[in-house]
DNA sequence: GGGCTATTGCTTTTT
DNA sequence: GCAATAGCCC
């Protein structure tokens, strides 16, 4: 009866796939490694493969699992296969398939969360565990350092958390962490790791890495549970395989088990998450662990013009730790890669905005067709202001991350406390927000009480609220009153929220805790914060239809596991401002990559390590290959950094793009605010180095005067783009500054 | 205990 | 340059 699925698309599949793609789709039994370059139709292959499994091979959707990098990718895949859930009328690749909801598409983290909810009790995990994100983790590490009396000035909590996190992703538990090397740092980590894990367990919390680690341990210790999932997920597919870590790899191979129906899809050249413990060697391990695995390379690019592809190849081919591979395309040559220079980030943004407006008019692009990409989030600010100045609608992903905003986190903390009042991290967050007279002194006393009796903060407060207890303590009547009031508040919240849907619970919190009034007293800022909470309610609303028993927990889990990119929404026409990392897996007709400067891209922190430098190059490569038709690359001469402006030189990566593919344009002629129609100078073959040979307008040794810096002497002068960078040593403060000739307004002295 | 000011310390990328 | 904290004063 499983064979009665819709077969109508099958003929289309054969027409629209190339030879390698078709092979990747039809090779369904046994291990497969698909090396898929950018734009090679990877998503199509995965979706067609699933369709093939269901339609041709009679596999039930229930027995298939696809693991993606983000929730967004997961929901897109589901939609491509089955059409939109809400609309019902738009059919996907498969048309109408019974039991399509049984098909699993999710991220590793979501999948593990599900498994642990169902079977985690075998490892003593509460069903309603909370998932702690990086901010919560940092709070806990800081607390653990306090307990272990580690000086936070000497050891950074972030560095320690990074090591704990990387240990967890290598499946090293706090019990197994051995400081055997004799390195004093190791000893500290060992102590903090254990303490951190204790704190987590006390709060019934699980961090991101625990989701993967604990699921692995669950499978190790309970073969019957593992078998249950092996029998369920008989066909396993893993996307973005180059960015999986060891814990994820182990999970995948365990679930695949002896059936070995595991298909991984990845591209070593797009591995950009090593800092999150992703291990590119997983691709090698896969071939070692499955010596009979079928390797299929998808090398034809259907996305980009040949110019963009060749430019990107020029960049990526400079990496030495790389298996040589060159993509081909039959796409037209298209436009050159435009390289632009601006004086400062504001002007750089202006340059981008002007071009966006020009392309809209001349080519009929929509705002949705544009993305502006950058290395670090702080760059988004100038771009955002540029959009506002030019009335260009934009969506900013993760600048100040939504779920990191104070008011959103406060509300989530309340929600978590309702589910689990013994969640210390969340409780301490809201204990005095809005202010209710519980000061640090009172909190310290309660913390002491909780330590002494080995109970949670909330339990300690209940104890302290007990009238009999207060007689034996030196606690003031006032402090006793506020504690009692708070315990009552939490009790009432738990009681009154029972059975309500998530949105109503949020409303309940806003009223009962006085949070709404607290925000209203904050004027404009309060209004903005209230808007963010409304936004949270919109998310909460989506869980209205889920089984009442689970919807609250699912909602909390959902917000813990969302990524920012998940919220990227195409329904309103606006340009996307995103980091290069977030751009992975996306494509746009026109892409702007800004900030191509030494120290930014490549980032300064990669300078001392060859492998990190190569990863920076891959980051740039990923950005370039997002572009279908137009690719713009810009840089700024000056950039504010820690308060003072610094001069940046052009990124080394610019030199790797063959000069014949580039065309320069400059900001020189477009002061901010002016309306300029055409700033593109079609200069044909020229690159940065070409200009260096031109005659310099400034002699070395020339004495000059600057409005602000006073008198100085020219140290060097190099042509860059359509301007010259002059390095001047100034007398007054001895500073050596890089100036742009066209802007510096230097006065010649004799 | 709370609110204000001064100081510090920090900047990569994020499931 | 900004945001988070420490320390001071009410």
Rounded to an integer, what distance in angstroms lies between the CA atom of residue A49 and that of residue A53? Answer: 6
Question: Could you say which nucleotides of strand C lie within 7 A of any protein CB atom?
Answer: 1-2
**pLDDT at position A333 over 80:** yes
CB A580 within 8 A of CB A627: no
Provide CB contacts within 8 A for A40, sequence distance 6+: A298, A299, A300, A301, A302, A327
* DSSP string of A631-654, one letter each residue: EEEEEESEEEETTEEEE-PBPGGG
Residue nearest to nucleotide B12 (CA to C1'): A376
Identify the band that residue A168 occupies on the pLDDT scale cut at 50, 70 and 90. Answer: very high
Q: Select which of A239, A310, A554, A615 is catalytic.
A: A239
Catalytic: which of A20, A119, A210, A240?
Answer: A240
What integer pLDDT is reported at residue A231 of this predicted model? 96
CA of A436 to C1' of C6 (A): 22
Footprint of strand C on the protein (CB under 7 A): A 640, 642-643
Catalytic site includes residue A626: yes
Instruction: Answer whether the bond into residue A434 is a cis peptide, omega within 30°.
Output: yes
Q: How far is the C-alpha of A69 from the C-alpha of A238, rounded, in Å?
A: 9
Joined together, the tokens standing for residue A488 give: 């009552």
Contact assessment for residue A742 and residue A723, using Cβ atoms and an 8 Å cutoff: yes
Q: Among A483-497, A545-559, A643-657, whose mean pLDDT is lowest?
A: A545-559
Cite the DSSP H helix spans in A466-608: 467-471, 477-497, 502-512, 515-520, 523-541, 548-561
- Percent of all residues in chain A with a pLDDT value above 70, rounded to a whole number: 83
Q: Let me know: does A31 contact A260? Beta carbons within 8 Å.
A: yes
A540: confidence class by pLDDT, cuts 50, 70, 90: confident
Q: Which nucleotide is nearest to A404 (CA to C1')?
A: B14
Q: Which of A89-98, A115-124, A443-452 has the highest mean pLDDT?
A: A115-124
Strand order in A262-266's β-sheet?
A: A104-107, A64-68, A235-238, A262-266, A32-36, A294-298
Token pair for A390: 């030019």
| CA angle in degrees (0–180, nearest 5) for A53-A54-A58 | 90
Phi, psi of A370, rounded to the nearest 5 degrees: -110, 145
* A327, A643 contact by CB (below 8 A): no
Least trusted range by pLDDT, from A46-55, A304-313, A671-680: A671-680
Nucleotide nearest to A153 (CA to C1'): B9
Comparing CA positions, the residue from A611, A615, A35 lying closest to residue A287 is A35
Q: Which residues contact A32 (CB under 8 A, 6 or more apart)?
A: A24, A262, A263, A264, A293, A294, A295, A296
Q: Which stretches of A586-642 are assigned E, i.e. beta strand?
A: 588-593, 627-636, 638-641
Residues 6+ apart with CB under 8 A from A320: A610, A614
- Band of the pLDDT at A23, cuts 50, 70, 90? very high
* Active-site pick, A43, A56, A318, A612: A43
Check whether the bond before A602 is cis (ω within 30° of 0): yes
Query: From the CA atom positions of chain A, what is the Rg in Å?
Result: 29
User: Which nucleotide has its C1' atom closest to residue A400's CA?
Assistant: C3
Least confident of A52-56, A151-155, A392-396, A406-410: A151-155
Residue A66 CA, nucleotide B14 C1', distance (Å) = 21
Q: With contact defined as beta carbons under 8 Å apart, do A131 and A106 qualify?
A: no
Which residue's alpha carbon is at the shortest distance from the C1' of B3? Answer: A435
The segment with the largest mean pLDDT, out of A294-298, A544-548, A555-559, is A294-298
In 10 A of CB A633, how many CB atoms?
26
Nearest to A63 by CA among A74, A52, A54: A54
Question: Is A9 in contact with A55 (CB distance < 8 Å)?
Answer: yes
Name the residue with higher pLDDT: A75 or A678: A75
Which has more confidence, A594 or A9?
A: A594
Q: What is the C-alpha to C-alpha distance for residues A463 and A589, in angstroms, rounded to an integer?
A: 62
The tokens for A3 are: 């064979």
Residue A32: which of A299, A272, A233, A239 has the closest Cα? Answer: A239
| A43 among known catalytic residues | yes
CA A196, CA A189: separation in Å to the nearest integer?
10
Q: Could you tell me the pLDDT band of residue A5, with boundaries at 50, 70 and 90? A: very low
The nt closest to A139 (CA vs C1′) is C4
> Rounded mean pLDDT of chain A?
82
Q: Return d(Cα A171, Cα A67) in angstroms, integer.
A: 20
Distance, in Å, from the CA atom of A739 to the CA atom of A649, rounded to the nearest integer, reads 11
- Does residue A270 carry a catalytic annotation? yes
Point out the least confidently predicted range of A34-48, A251-265, A687-701.
A687-701
- Mark whether A42 is an active-site residue: yes
Q: Integer distance in angstroms from CA A153 to C1' C6? A: 14
pLDDT per residue as tens digits for the range A364-409: 999 999 999 999 988 888 888 888 888 999 888 765 566 777 888 8
Beta carbons of A235 and A53 less than 8 angstroms apart: yes
pTM of the model: 0.82
CB-count burial class (<10 Å; 0-12, 13-18, 19+) for A525:
exposed
- Which residues, 6 or more positions from A241, have their beta carbon under 8 angstroms from its beta carbon? A33, A264, A265, A266, A282, A283, A286
| Half-sphere exposure in the Cβ direction for A357 (13 Å, CA) | 17
DSSP 8-state assignment for residue A545: T
- Parallel/antiparallel/unpaired status of strands A644-647 and A205-207: unpaired
Q: Which residues contact A565 (CB under 8 A, 6 or more apart)?
A: A70, A72, A397, A398, A578, A582
Q: Which residues does residue A634 pair with via DSSP β-bridges, in sequence order? A: A340
Spacing of A429 CA from C8 C1' in Å: 24
> Which DSSP string corresponds to A287-340?
HHH-TT-EEEEE-B--SS-HHHHHHHHHHHTT-SSS-----B--S---SPEEEE
More confident site: A472 or A592: A592
C1' of nucleotide B1: residue with nearest CA:
A439
Q: Which residues of A44-79 are buried (b: 16+ CB within 10 A; e: fewer)?
A: bbbbbbbbbbbbbeebbbbbbbbbbbbbbbbbbbbb
- From the candidates A49, A529, A626, A638, which is the catalytic residue? A626
Q: Rounded to whole angstroms, how far apart are CA atoms A717 and A64?
A: 63
- For residue A332, how far is the Cα from the chain centroid? 33
Can you tell me the mean pLDDT for A295-319?
A: 95
């Amino acid at each position: 009866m499983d064979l009665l699925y819709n077969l109508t698309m099958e003929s289309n599949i054969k027409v629209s796939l190339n030879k390698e793609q078709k092979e990747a789709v039809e090779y369904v039994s046994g291990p497969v490694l698909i090396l898929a370059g950018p734009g090679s139709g990877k998503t199509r292959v995965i979706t067609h493969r699933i369709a093939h499994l269901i339609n041709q091979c009679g596999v039930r959707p229930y027995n298939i699992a696809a693991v993606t990098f983000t929730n967004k990718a997961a929901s897109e895949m589901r939609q491509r296969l089955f059409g939109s859930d809400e609309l019902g009328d738009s059919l996907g690749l498969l048309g109408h398939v019974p039991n399509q909801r049984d098909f699993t598409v999710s991220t590793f983290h979501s999948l593990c969360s599900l498994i642990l909810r169902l079977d985690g009790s075998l490892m003593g995990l509460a069903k309603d565990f909370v998932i702690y994100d990086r901010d919560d983790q940092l709070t806990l590490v800081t607390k653990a350092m306090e307990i272990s009396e580690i000086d936070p000035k000497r050891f950074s909590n972030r560095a320690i958390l990074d090591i704990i996190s990387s240990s967890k992703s290598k499946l090293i538990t706090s019990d197994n962490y051995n400081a055997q090397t004799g390195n004093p740092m190791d000893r500290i980590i060992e102590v903090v790791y254990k303490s951190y894990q204790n704190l987590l367990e006390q709060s019934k919390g699980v961090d991101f890495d625990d989701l993967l680690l604990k699921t692995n341990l669950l499978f190790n210790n309970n073969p019957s549970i593992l078998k249950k999932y092996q029998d369920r997920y008989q066909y396993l597919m893993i996307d973005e395989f180059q960015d999986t870590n060891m814990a994820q790899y182990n999970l995948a191979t365990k679930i695949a088990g002896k059936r070995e129906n595991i298909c991984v899809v990845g591209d070593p050249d797009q591995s950009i998450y090593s800092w999150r413990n992703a291990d590119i060697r997983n691709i090698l391990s896969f071939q070692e662990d499955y010596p009979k695995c079928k390797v299929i390379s998808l090398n034809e690019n259907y996305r980009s013009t040949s110019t963009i592809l060749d430019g990107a190849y020029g960049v990526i081919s400079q990496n030495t730790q790389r298996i040589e591979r060159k993509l081909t395309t039959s796409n037209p040559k298209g436009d050159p890669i435009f390289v632009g220079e601006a004086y400062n980030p504001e002007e750089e943004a202006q340059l981008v905005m002007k071009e966006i407006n020009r392309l809209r008019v001349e080519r009929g692009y929509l705002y949705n067709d544009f993305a502006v990409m950058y290395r670090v989030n702080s760059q988004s600010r100038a771009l955002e202001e540029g959009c506002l100045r030019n009335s260009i609608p934009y969506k900013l992903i993760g600048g100040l991350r939504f779920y990191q905003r104070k008011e959103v986190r406060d509300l989530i903390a309340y929600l978590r406390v309702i589910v689990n009042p013994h969640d210390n991290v969340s409780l301490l967050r809201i204990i005095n927000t809005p202010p209710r007279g519980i000061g640090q002194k009172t909190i310290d006393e309660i913390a002491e009480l909780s330590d002494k009796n080995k109970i949670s903060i909330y339990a300690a407060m209940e104890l302290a609220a007990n009238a009999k207890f207060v007689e034996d303590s030196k606690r003031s009547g006032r402090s006793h009153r506020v504690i009692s009031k708070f315990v009552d508040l939490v009790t009432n919240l738990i009681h009154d929220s029972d059975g309500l849907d998530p949105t109503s619970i949020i409303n309940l919190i806003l009223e009962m805790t006085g949070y709404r009034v607290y925000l209203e007293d904050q004027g404009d800022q309060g209004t903005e914060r209230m808007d963010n909470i409304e936004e949270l309610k919109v998310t909460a609303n989506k869980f209205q239809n889920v089984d009442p028993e689970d919807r609250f927990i699912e909602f909390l889990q959902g917000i813990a596991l969302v990524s920012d990119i998940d919220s990227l929404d195409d329904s309103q026409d606006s340009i996307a401002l995103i980091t290069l990392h977030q751009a992975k897996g996306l494509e746009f007709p026109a892409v702007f990559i800004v900030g191509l400067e030494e120290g930014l891209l490549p980032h300064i922190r990669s300078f001392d390590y060859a492998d990190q430098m190569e990863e920076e190059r891959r980051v740039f490569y990923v950005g370039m290959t997002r572009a279908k038709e137009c690719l713009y690359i810009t840089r700024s001469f000056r950039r504010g950094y820690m308060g003072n402006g610094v001069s940046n030189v052009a990124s080394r990566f610019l030199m790797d793009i063959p000069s014949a593919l580039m065309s320069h344009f400059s900001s020189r002629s477009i002061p901010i605010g002016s309306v300029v129609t055409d700033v593109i100078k079609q200069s044909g073959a020229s690159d940065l180095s070409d200009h260096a040979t031109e005659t310099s307008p400034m002699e070395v040794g020339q004495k000059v005067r600057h409005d602000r810096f006073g008198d100085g002497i020219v140290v060097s002068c190099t042509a860059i783009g359509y301007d010259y960078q002059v390095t001047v040593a100034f007398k007054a403060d001895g500073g050596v500054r890089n100036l742009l000739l066209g802007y510096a307004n230097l006065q010649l002295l004799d």
